[in-house]
Amino acid sequence: MSHFNCHSQSLDYYMEETYKLNLIKKIWQKNTANNYLQYYNRNIRKSIGWKKLSKITYTDLDDIQKTLAHRKGTTLNTIKSLLNPIFKEAIRRGDILHNPVELIKRVKVDKRERITTRTLETSLSMIKKLYNSVDKYTSNLVPTKELNAYLYLLLLTAHRFGELIKLTTNNIYLDKDLIISPSDITKTKEEYHFPIPTECKEYFKTIQSGLIFPNLKYSSVADYFRKLVSLSEIEFFKDKTLTPHDTRSLLLNVMIRDCKIDSRLADFCLDHSATGVIAHYLDFHYEDKKIAYNQYWDKIRDM
């Protein structure tokens, strides 16, 4: 960061230079860098990005956290993780004297709330209701066929939405009924293999190149899922709901409880790594995963 020269530069300037430099030095992986940039653009740029670094105060940062108060702790804490290194480096260079980010307290992140504390409905009942609501979903912002295919893929594979919206035609093997998520788009930086649900195939055939879901943005997909949950008429306790990540819990519960699939194989379907001694010996194959997924899908479709 030696080419930062003075405290008269705006936070936008420092952020853009930090983004470039951390990619060059490989301090941030590309996914991490892009996630930070999206967070900055969505939550910070408009309110204080234009301000000189030396003029940013604790009150400015506290106001941003207050606007995010309804979000999870991890989202609230990102402002500190992102901005603290920028201010610390500016102090080391003598550009500024104080770091207001240090005054921001980290929010305690609660353990993930179990689905059984949110509703009396079973996992199978909920995933069926969600599945049966997809074809009722229309949108003026995204082509309906694209949105429906995405929702089916999310519900039926339970892979993370940040990964699914980055899939391209190069990752889809229609002749093999196979999707390969490359390591550069997955959270764990490992390659995932999983089957293509029938519900998605016709849509996939219409995409010739590029992103499979070109009109879906990271900042919007959680909202689409919330609307699907609303359409499903799942009965929740007051102020409770489901998130896209909960599809992973639904899959595990239904596979293990309703399909009688071995729990370690169900874990393998979500590409969780085995732990302990068994990790050195147990070796499931893709065909095992495909059979388990098809059992799960049949249970949802009532076949």
From residue 245, how far is each of 27, 50, 162 by CA, in Å? Answer: 27, 35, 10
pLDDT computed for residue 72 by the predictor: 59
pLDDT computed for residue 3 by the predictor: 46
pLDDT computed for residue 302 by the predictor: 85
pLDDT computed for residue 1 by the predictor: 44
CA distance linking residue 282 with residue 255, whole number of Å: 19
* Sequential pLDDT tens for the chain (303 residues): 444 445 468 999 999 999 998 888 888 877 788 888 988 998 899 999 999 999 999 999 999 988 877 665 567 788 888 999 999 999 998 889 999 999 988 877 556 688 999 999 999 999 999 999 999 998 888 999 999 999 999 999 999 998 999 999 999 999 999 999 998 888 878 899 999 999 999 999 999 999 999 999 887 888 899 999 999 999 999 989 999 999 999 999 999 999 999 999 999 999 876 555 555 556 789 999 999 999 999 999 986
Q: Are 205 and 120 in contact (CB under 8 A)?
A: no
Element (H, E) at 267: helix 263-269
> Which pair of structure tokens corresponds to residue 199?
């519900």
Give first-to-last CA distance, the chain, whole Å.
Answer: 60
pLDDT computed for residue 70 by the predictor: 63
pLDDT computed for residue 187 by the predictor: 81
User: Does the global pTM surpass 0.75?
Assistant: no
Domains and CATH numbers, the chain: 11-103 (1.10.150.130), 115-301 (1.10.443.10)
From residue 169, how far is each of 69, 96, 206, 214, 245 by CA, in Å? Answer: 38, 48, 10, 11, 24
Amino acid identity for residue 42 in this structure = R
